[in-house]
Structure 1
Amino acid sequence: MTGFALHLLRHGAPETPGLLMGRTDDAPTEAGIAACVARAEGLGIERLIGSDLRRCRAAGKAIGRATGLPLATDPRWRELDFGDWDGQAARMIDREAIGRFWDDPDAYPPPGGERWSALVSRVSAAIAGLAPVPTLVVTHGGAMRAALHILCGFDQRQLWAFDLPYAARLSLNVWPGERPSGQIAGLCA
């Protein structure tokens, strides 16, 4: 089977940056949307997908207008649900609790939040459902790291080594199948 290009684009800057935003549906800034449109330019995509949260939908709709492609939304591309921590700045959370989470987000999920393995499962299902055509997904930093884990086999510590600021684009060559695999083709941060 032949591979296809998969571009993962983190949403642009939200109105209130610096918060743990999983299900928190903060609006994106106009500059953040423009940065995403610029990152999507010239990719030659045939399919455009976005998380259903408005910080991704807004950028996806703007990219759709620029490319002439319709935006399909898929909630499986959402960020990790931070539960009771959602919408808070990391510095406001108990240092030991958030430290345990960063060290092992599956064993120590946020109170009332989602385990890392649940995010990986969601993103894995979303990847498995992709048609093998050049695709852009407007998503979140956590979902991008989950995709790197699934497609490239990076472990938890290695995933935190990737700087994925707002409007960062991660490009992968993906080989679909029962166990899809991928290769990093580029990172524009």
Structure 2
Amino acid sequence: MSGFALHLLRHGAPETPGLLMGRTDGAPIAEGIAACVAQARDLGIERLIASGLHRSHAAGEAIGAALGLPLLIDPRWRELDFGDWDGKAASAIDRDALGRFWDDPDANPPAGGERWSALVARVSAAIADLPPVPTLIVTHGGAMRAALHALCGFDQRQLWAFDLSYSTLLSLRVWRGEPPSAQIAGLTP
């Protein structure tokens, strides 16, 4: 079995970068949307999905218009909910609490926020529901890391080693199974 291509594209830069933006949404800048469209242009995808948050939805709409594909919305691909920290700059958050979170986000979620394991569970469910056709998902850095954990088995420290800046494209070859698995085919900033 040859598997299928799964491309995960982080949304373009928002108007206010540098914030912990989970459920907090922000408008993307035009250059960020254009960068996403450029990343998607030659992927040969048959299916296009976005998380539904405006910063990913806007890029998904532009990509769909450029490629002549309908955009499907799947909220399971949204970013981790940062709870009380959502929409704040890291500098506005207690340093020790933030350090504990980055060290172990499942054991130390933000107050009122989502556990890492919940993010992994919803992204894993979204992956399991994908048909085996070349697919592009316009999503968020946390969801991309959750997919890498679920599909490739990377642990928490390894996941932070990936630079997933705005408009980064992560390409995977996915094989069905219990659980599904994948191989990284490319990472394009």
TM-score, normalised via structure 1 length: 0.99
Q: Measure how far apart 1:177 and its partner are.
A: 2.2
Partner residue of 1:16?
16
SS in structure 2 opposite 1:23?
coil
Partner residue of 2:152?
152
Deviations 1:60-79 (A, max 9, x none): 00000011000000000000
Matches within 5 A, 1:1-189: 1-189=1-189
Gaps of 5+ in 1: none
| Letter aligned with residue 174 of structure 1 | V
The alignment of Structure 1 onto Structure 2 pairs a total of residues equal to 189
| Letter aligned with residue 120 of structure 1 | V
SS in structure 2 opposite 1:34?
helix
Cα distance in 2, alignment partners of residues 85 and 9 from structure 1 = 24
Give the root-mean-square deviation of aligned CA atoms: 0.6
Q: Measure how far apart 1:25 and its partner are.
A: 1.1
Gaps of 5+ in 2: none
Cα distance in 1, alignment partners of residues 12 and 43 from structure 2 = 18
Q: Measure how far apart 1:27 and its partner are.
A: 0.6
Q: Measure how far apart 1:178 and its partner are.
A: 2.3
SS in structure 2 opposite 1:33?
helix
Question: Moved runs in structure 1, 4+ residues, more than 3 A?
Answer: none
SS in structure 2 opposite 1:6?
strand
Cα distance in 1, alignment partners of residues 51 and 163 from structure 2 = 20
| Letter aligned with residue 38 of structure 1 | A
Cα distance in 1, alignment partners of residues 99 and 179 from structure 2 = 32
SS in structure 1 opposite 2:48?
strand
Cα distance in 2, alignment partners of residues 60 and 134 from structure 1 = 15
Deviations 1:7-37 (A, max 9, x none): 0000000011000000001110001000000
SS in structure 2 opposite 1:173?
strand
Cα distance in 2, alignment partners of residues 2 and 154 from structure 1 = 22
Cα distance in 2, alignment partners of residues 91 and 132 from structure 1 = 42
Q: Measure how far apart 1:131 and its partner are.
A: 0.3
Q: Measure how far apart 1:2 and its partner are.
A: 3.5
| Letter aligned with residue 65 of structure 1 | A
SS in structure 2 opposite 1:151?
helix
| Letter aligned with residue 115 of structure 2 | R
Q: Measure how far apart 1:38 and its partner are.
A: 0.4
Q: Measure how far apart 1:80 and its partner are.
A: 0.2
Q: Measure how far apart 1:50 and its partner are.
A: 0.5
